[in-house]
Amino acid sequence: MSELLTDAAFIRRLESLWLLARKVLSGSLQSDRKSIKKGSGITFADYSEYSLGDDYRSIDWRVYARLGTLMVKLFEREEDVTIYFLLDASKSMEKKFLLARQLTAALGYIGLNILDRVVIYGLADELATIMPKSQGRGKALTMLKALENAKTFGKDSDFTTCCKQLQARHRQRGVVIIASDFLFPQGYEDGLKLLKWCNHDIFCMQVMDKTDLTSNLRGDVDLHCVESDRNMKITVTPSLSARYEATIKQYNEDFQRYCARQGIGSIYTTTDTRFDDIIQKVLRRGGLVA
């Protein structure tokens, strides 16, 4: 598959995914996403006792007349959502970077089409902006070009730091979509907890390569970490290889289990899967839900 994200064939596939998204999500994708925030929408949501500072216009005087208590009407606030894409651009993603960018491009395309605000960051030892906050269909090509030009960078990726940097830049809650292998030496738990604490809707796309999952190493090996540049001299026996494969399998299962426990949506994929199959699977599952 071509690595170009701006060629016509790729865009046609994104368009197909957008159409599928419209159909699956029954047209409710127009930026009329219901918010749990109560605000100035037109759809009645609930009553609440008046408190100092409430808008007088929302007082339901009929209720006051009947009950003698000031009650204000609460409406569901209709708002556009900001989707934060955290694309893992660390060195360890070299083999998985294309799929991660394709998945980001697909979901970003859908987001731009439903008039959400989309912002894409590269994730490594620090957060690097790939595409600033953008909105509207017209930004789709800009997004694709930005993703196409994105390179891996950094050393010693630190997910927690990146999450902190995101929170520092964007106070507004939104949907955080993370495309990564989640092989963070310092762990992923703190970062996800921080995002969760900030009330973001989080969706994790764990992308692995089969070379990550298996070990063909034998004998004396000077193991070099592509991400941290650290070396480790080890002697790999078949039993150690098997133990490595079991360990990484357990690591991935622990990650999926953690997401499920935290109410974080997640999907696990490998580089030998087509990106549009993954997106279709996500859409048919009902969207980016846990």
Q: Which is nearer to another protein, 189 or 209 (CB)?
A: 209
Q: Are 84 and 121 in contact (CB under 8 A)?
A: yes
Between the alpha carbon of residue 95 and those of residues 89, 178, 253, the distances in Å are 11, 17, 21
Smallest distance, Å, CB 229 to another protein? 10
The residue (of 1 and 221) whose beta carbon lies closer to another protein is 221
Whose CA is closest to 233, among 220, 243, 246? 220
Instruction: Find the shortest distance in angstroms from Cβ 252 to another protein.
Output: 11
Nearer to another protein, 83 or 93 (CB): 93
Helix (H, G, I), strand (E, B) or coil at 60: coil
**Is residue 100 a contact partner of residue 93, using CB atoms and an 8 Å limit?**
yes
Looking at beta carbons only, is 58 or 241 nearer to another protein? 241
Closest to another protein by CB, 37 or 243 = 243
Q: Which is nearer to another protein, 183 or 264 (CB)?
A: 183
Please report how close the Cβ of residue 184 comes to another protein at its closest, in angstroms: 9
Output the smallest distance, CB 73 to another protein, in A: 55
List of residues contacting another protein (CB under 8 A)? 92, 181, 183, 185, 209, 211-212, 217-228, 230, 232-238, 240-241, 243-244, 247-248, 251
Question: Residue 97 Cβ, how far from another protein at the closest point, in Å?
Answer: 12
**Shortest Cβ distance from residue 233 to another protein (Å)?**
6
Residue 149 to residue 90: CA distance in whole angstroms: 15
How many CB atoms are located within 10 Å of the residue 120 CB? 26
Least distance between another protein and beta carbon 88 (Å): 11
Contact call for residues 212 and 244 (beta carbons, < 8 A): no
Q: How far is the CB of 251 from another protein (least distance, A)?
A: 7
Judged by beta carbon, residue 6 or residue 152, the one nearer another protein is 152
Q: Give the tokens for residue 42.
A: 């037109």
DSSP string, 77-120: EE---EEEEEEE-SGGGTTTHHHHHHHHHHHHHHHHHTT-EEEE
Contacts of 26 (CB under 8 A, 6+ apart): none
What CA–CA distances, in Å, run from 125 to 91, 162, 189, 220, 231?
Answer: 10, 7, 16, 30, 19
One-letter amino acid of 90 = S
Residue 255, classed as helix, strand or coil, is: helix
The enclosing H or E element of 208 equals strand 201-208
Question: Which residue, 11 or 236, has its beta carbon nearer to another protein?
Answer: 236
